[in-house]
Amino acid sequence: MGLIAAVQSQPVYLDSMATARKAVELIGESSSLGAWLAVFPESFIPGNPEFIIRSAPVSDAFQGFEEAFLEASIQVPGPETDLIAAACAKYEITVAMGVTERPERSGTLYNTLLYFGSDGSILGRHRKLMPTYPERMIWGMGDGSTLRTIETPHGIVGGLICWENYMPLARMVLYSQGEHVHVAPTLNPGTEVWISAMRSIANEGRMWVVSVGGFMTADIIPESLMEYGLYEPGEVINAGGSVIIDPMANIVAGPVYGDEAILTAEVDTAIALKGKRRFDVVGHYGRADIFDLNIRGQQVPLEIRDGVRIKGLSDTIWTVPQQTT
């Protein structure tokens, strides 16, 4: 399959266009290392709404940060995604990018994972199904139609965002589509519990897992927001802890803490398929004869036979209209 890259980097906090430009540089760097896939953290554009765990929703601090976060959220497609798509085409690389999305004429924000193809197209998106605890003050809930994988020349890629990865049925929907590489962008990974969970998921699905965390220091908080006193100058808010794991649950890159880094690993579909020969959760271990799984009224196959797509799901949210020039 080739090289994949986990991009642990700080955004230009709450400046979506500047962060998109930084992403372009990181995409180029990942390509220069030989990667065909680069994975970025959750909500890399416009950054991590970490302020939600430090301030009460009725406080001036929360409302100040929230307003800035809303203004920095992006539309898809839009000028920021155009920059990233052009970089993907230039460097012929596939990218999984975490963004906070604000649909046109909507006040609801979505925690979204965008997939960009090596031809510069936006192949699809996944909206986080269930924002975690205080995140529900910021993000709306995805509707389930975006539980999809993308097919690339190197293999089938799917992903879940942060604690969605703890949802067994959401994982099963992606497994049923034949994942070879599972991306798990998150805000604050790197704990022993999180890494253990990522290793377990790799073992369960017999696939490569790329967990990319949001490295963040107080140095990136705008001065106007630092005045609220939520952060200490120089404070490490999220240490990162990105990691790449093989289909037999071995850590092959990382974890890296306290710095920006691009982790790489050589991945091979054959290793995933070899692992599935012993344990295939959507094959001989699926027991499709006794279990059923449905999503939005559509049956999810628990045994892969002909093809990997779930028939019947609407593409109105999953796909992204391409801008015309």
Selected catalytic residue, list 80, 162, 179, 276:
162
Look at residue 175 and give its three-state secondary structure: helix
Look at residue 313 and give its three-state secondary structure: coil
Active site residue 162: yes
Task: Tell whether the torsion through CA atoms of 310, 314, 318 and 321 is positive or negative.
Answer: positive
Active site residue 128: yes
Distance CA 66, CA 147 (A): 28
DSSP 29: H
* Beta-bridge partner residues of 247: none
Selected catalytic residue, list 66, 80, 101, 128:
128
Active site residue 90: no
What is the arrangement of strands in the sheet containing 122-127, beginning at the earlier edge strand? 122-127, 110-116, 94-101, 35-39, 2-8, 261-267
Alpha-carbon distance values, 285 to 42, 172, 276, 289, 290 (Å): 32, 12, 9, 11, 11
Distance CA 294, CA 299 (A): 4
Tell me the residue type at 221. I
Counted residue by residue, the chain has a size of 325
What tokens appear for 221 in the block? 């908080």
Look at residue 211 and give its three-state secondary structure: strand
* Beta-bridge partner residues of 157: 150, 181
11 within 8 A of 28, measured Cβ to Cβ: no
Distance CA 146, CA 38 (A): 20
31 within 8 A of 2, measured Cβ to Cβ: no
Residues annotated catalytic, as ranges: 42, 128, 162
